Structure 1
Amino acid sequence: MVVITLGKGITLELGRRTVTAVCYIKDAKNEYAIEPSSQDIVSEVDATGAGDAFAAGFLYGLLKGKGLNECGCIGDIMARFSLTKLGAREGLPTLIALVQRYHELYNQQL
C-alpha cells in the first residue's frame, strides 16, 4: 500500500485487493473508494510507472477543477493505460485517448 498526502487534508491510499487496484481518497469531509469499472479491466504487462501515471492523472483532474472522486477516476484510467505496455512511458495515453476513455466509462465529458 502506498499512502500519499497532498497538502492539507487530502490523503490517497493506493493498494491492491486481490488482483484489482483500489484507491482510497480522503479529505476533511468525504472518503471515496475508486475501484475500476468492470468495463476497464486490463491485462497487466508491466506495473512500472503505474503509480506515477495515477498521480499525473489525479493532478490533471485537480488542475482542471474536478472533485476528488473524479480526480481518482482520471488517475485510475491513466494507471490502467500504463499497465498495458512495457516501461514507464510506453503505455501513457494521449490526452485525446484519456478524454475518450473517460467518456466511455462515465458518460461524461472531461
Structure 2
Amino acid sequence: MSQLAIAQIFKALGDPVRLQIVQRLSNGTALCMGELSKDLGISRQGARKQIQALVSAKVVQLHPVGREVKVQLDAVALQQGRDFIARLEAQWDKRLQALKQFTEQ
C-alpha cells in the first residue's frame, strides 16, 4: 500500500465523528446509513458526508441492499494502517534498545 493511501486512512480516522462511525462498525456488522448516523450529533446530510470521506479513504465500503445502502468496515484497509504503526513501533523499540545499551555502558 502506498504512503498516500496510508495517509488517507489516518486522515479519515482523525475526525471524531468518522472515528465514532468506524467504532460502531468495528464488530463486523454492516449498518444502514440511518442506523449508522443515529445520535452522531450531526444532520443526516452531515453523516453522509462523513461516511463518504471514509469511503474515499477506503476505510468503509457501501453495499446496496434493496432500497437501503449498508456500510461495512474494510478490515483490510485498517490492517494496513495497523501494519504501518507496527513497523514504526519496531523501529522505535530498536532505537530505544540501542539507547538503553548505550546508557548502560
Q: Higher strand proportion, which one?
A: 1
Q: Higher helix proportion, which one?
A: 2
* Fold-level similarity (TM above 0.5): no
| TM-score, normalization by structure 1 | 0.25
Structure of greater Rg: 2
| Greater relative contact order (CA < 8 Å, ≥ 6 in sequence) | 2
| TM-score, normalization by structure 2 | 0.26
